Amino acid sequence: MITLTIAQIAHAIAGEPVLSAADSLDTPVSGAVDTDSRLIGRGDVFVAKPGEHTDGHLFVPAVAEAGAALAIVERIVDAPISQIVVPDVVAALAALAREVVARVRARGDLRIVGITGSNGKTTTKNMLARILEGEAETVAPRASFNNEVGAPLTMLRVTEQTRYLVCEFGASAPGEIARLAGLVEPDIGIVLMVGLAHAGGFGGIEATFHAKSELVRAVRPGGLAVLNADDPRVSQMAPIATERDVRVRWFGRGDTAEVRAGEIEVSATGTATTVTVDGVDHPLRLSVLGAHHVANALAAIAAATALGVAADAAIGRVESLELAERWRMQPLGSDSIRIINDAYNASPDSMAAALRTLAQITGPDERTVAVLGAMSELGEYAEEEHDRVGLLAVRLGIKRIVVIGVDARRMYLEAIAQGSWDGEAVFFATADEAFDYLQGELRAGDRVLVKSSNAAGLRFLGDRLGESVS
């Protein structure tokens, strides 16, 4: 965090400072800000957030002993550390982020990019960060820091030298993206797609559209909206941009997109295409598996070139990215048995994309194996969408379909109904049972996809399988 005095922090978050004997209101604070006490070191700021399973206030004495400079709390804790008392520490965290970014932005050369979409946010964030890091100091989220806590924590990592801030905005209910993006008013807003991810929380696909369009509404006047020309719902956000004096830059496969891709070739070693940027063709070969990641690359390139990065440089840096993120189309195992661990998250769109990728990268003498778990937060669409996945797996000719968990059972039942009744589809209640089965089932030449939402926990099964066949 940039240097602020305790008085300045207290004013920014409308809190009441309670000072330790060693401090005054003019004491400067410049350490990192976090809600995880295990990450707090000397000079840092601890935000004592109450949680479902524990309460951050219990750890204030520990961070004081670790040398923390300040704690932001909802009640005073008996510990030798200066504290600022606020009614709501999460709201205070957001207010502090707004203040810090505003101070750095006043310098005049900070550029802020916000990213949202039902799928692809983290991959696009990593691609864009890789591009911009080659230009100047860039701050981007760790992992998927995109919620009411993670997004402000990312914003608070900016320094006086930061030139680019990349923010990822996720949401499980209307209004969340507006609140988060409103903290920084991005110069560029990227909307990747509108799908059924979190549709249960939003209340349907139209409500999801309105939620994702909140980012376009948050872009500052004179800014830029980078929109997916291939997604009809995202395309409908263009008038919103125009109303706010925000320009539109399109990416996609169609001829109208300023940044577009040609024919896509997918193999076990990556994805190749030709990218046209403002009328000039460039070859692109991604190490990241899956045709669906081409759209993410297009979005990142569209934003970067709008910021003045040369297209060749942007493409070269995207090509250098070997892995989108851990547990996202992550290759594991060996050449003999390849595991693709894509179980950090799942929606109907990403599940379909991953299954298609599995089919595309598997040779004629190799066998496809799909290890599938539940997709979370689909609400009333859950049964229908799990049925669709089971159907798609059969239609794609997946040779072994391993379904895990009661919430995912409809995938198995649909696969059976579609003709996979001769051992091609199996069901297990737990990941441990599935692991034991797969230990005896997998053989040389297998290409194995592990895919589920985070809550299903299959990412750990993917790790176990990768280790077991290495």
Which residue ranges are tagged as binding site for ATP?
Answer: 117-123
Binding residues: 117-123
Alpha-carbon torsion, ordered 48, 114, 121, 327, to 10 deg: -40
Strand order in the sheet with 425-428: 330-333, 338-342, 446-451, 367-372, 400-404, 425-428
CA distances from 263 to 41, 93, 102, 281, 293 (A): 50, 45, 43, 13, 14
Taking phi over 0 as left and psi of -120 to 50 as alpha, with beta for the rest, 143 belongs to left
SS3 72: strand
Beta bridge partners of 286: 271
Helical H segments across 32-142, by residue range: 60-65, 89-105, 121-133
Residue 152 has, within 13 A of its CA and on its CB side, a CA count of: 24
Q: How many residues does the chain have?
A: 470
Beta strands in 137-204 (DSSP E): 138-139, 164-168, 188-191
Nearest to 398 by CA among 437, 461, 434, 355: 355
Residue type, 252: G
Query: Cα 253 from chain centroid?
Result: 23
Distance CA 468, CA 222 (A): 54
DSSP state string for 238-259: HHHHHHTT-EEEEEESSTT-SE
Nearest to 179 by CA among 90, 252, 247: 90
